[in-house]
Amino acid sequence: MSFRKDCLRLDAAAETSRLVSALQLAVRQRLRKSGGVVGVSGGVDSAVVLALAVRALGPDRVIALILPERESDPRSEVLAAEVARQYGASVIREEITAALEGFGCYQRRDEAIQRVIPEYDAAAGHKVKIVLPPGLLDKGSLNVFSVTVIRPDGSQVTRPLPPREYLQIVAASNFKQRTRMAFLYYHAELRNYAVLGTANKNEHDLGFFVRHGDAGVDVQVIAHLYKTQVYQLAEHLGVPEAIRRRTPTTDTYSAPCSQEEFFFRLPFEIMDLLWFAHEHGFDPREVAAVLKLAPDQVQNAFADFQRKRFTTEPARQPPLGLAPHEVESWASRK
């Protein structure tokens, strides 16, 4: 098999039909549930999962749960409600700000930010995000995070994050995903429904998720699909154009932050092809020729994929058991 630019092209109609049948089997027979709950964010992944759920289970058996907090982009909620109405799912809105304040989410995070950038003051209108270095293909730099504070006048300051502060910011921010997971399960268990995951292959396999947060689901509906394939399904399923054209965002920090800035470091159009090539063992020189890149650029991307897979592998593992046969099994794979 040779590497081609169209190697990720789907038969969207056939994949939709397959997923609808598989989702019916998973929810009704394997899990013995009578419907599904989807956390709808205004992004393309949750919109596709919602559309598939409605086809598989019926609109009266699907809950579209909208879970905003005080730092959410207001546009996210608007788009989430729009797509839920389009597919006829029941909409429930749960504001999670009070829960996050109770956990100390914002306070714990801001304490760490202020140790790096003392002038940061959310009450004064400062916005914040954490980002990875750009220019992965040309620089091949490591995944070392920086924090960016945007002042009310639009000026900004960016500084590297020491390990202690990075860990505290991430640990505090992860309250958001874990709080959403708790609400998803409340509404699912209230109705004997399943929680339907919205992570795509990029997020699941490269580790862009929170363990026991947005990864805490009953069914991973699209975790086998590259992001660009999710967009193909979105077009076939009639997901609103405003969602399909929206830049994928973390919607976790107060400042706008794309998924490319925060984690992936490449546009999905090129990243998916490079990752497919890496997974299938294509020669970097062949890939470079097809994509009009230098072989070193392809190697930089391959190295980044390997680092992300290795560092996030523990997050994909189920809880480890310590029975003798279990220890032998996982110890042998070190």
In order of their start, the domains of the chain are 12-100+170-316 (3.40.50.620), 101-169 (no CATH)
Percent of all residues in the chain with a pLDDT value above 70, rounded to a whole number: 99
Neighbours of 60 (CB within 10 A): 10
Percent of all residues in the chain with a pLDDT value above 90, rounded to a whole number: 83
pLDDT at 29 over 80: yes
Say what the pLDDT of residue 334 is.
60
Pick left, alpha or beta for residue 23 (phi over 0 → left; psi -120 to 50 → alpha; otherwise beta): alpha
Say what the pLDDT of residue 242 is.
95
Please give the structure tokens belonging to residue 104: 């100390």
Q: What mean pLDDT is predicted for residues 15-26?
A: 98
Write down the mean pLDDT value for the chain: 94
Say what the pLDDT of residue 85 is.
96
Q: Transcribe 192-206 into DSSP letters.
A: T-EEEE---HHHHHH
Quickly state the pLDDT bin for 258 (edges 50, 70, 90): confident
Q: What is the pTM of this model?
A: 0.94
pLDDT at 238 over 80: yes
Q: First CA to last CA across the chain, in angstroms? A: 32
112-156 residue pLDDT tens: 999 999 999 999 999 999 988 887 888 766 778 899 999 999 999
Cβ atoms of 234 and 243 closer than 8 Å: yes
Q: Transcribe 209-226 into DSSP letters.
A: S-TTTTT--SEESSTTS-
Say what the pLDDT of residue 139 is.
76
Rounded Cα gap, residues 35 and 160, in angstroms = 45
91-107 residue pLDDT tens: 999 999 999 999 999 99
Helix residue ranges per DSSP H, the chain: 12-24, 44-57, 74-87, 97-103, 105-116, 136-139, 163-191, 201-206, 227-237, 241-244, 259, 268-279, 284-291, 295-316, 324-331
239-255 residue pLDDT tens: 999 999 998 888 888 98
Q: What mean pLDDT is predicted for residues 196-215?
A: 92
- Sheet with 127-131, strands from edge to edge, namely 127-131, 146-150, 156-160
- Which residue type is seen at 9? R
Nearest to 255 by CA among 160, 135, 125: 125
SS3 321: coil
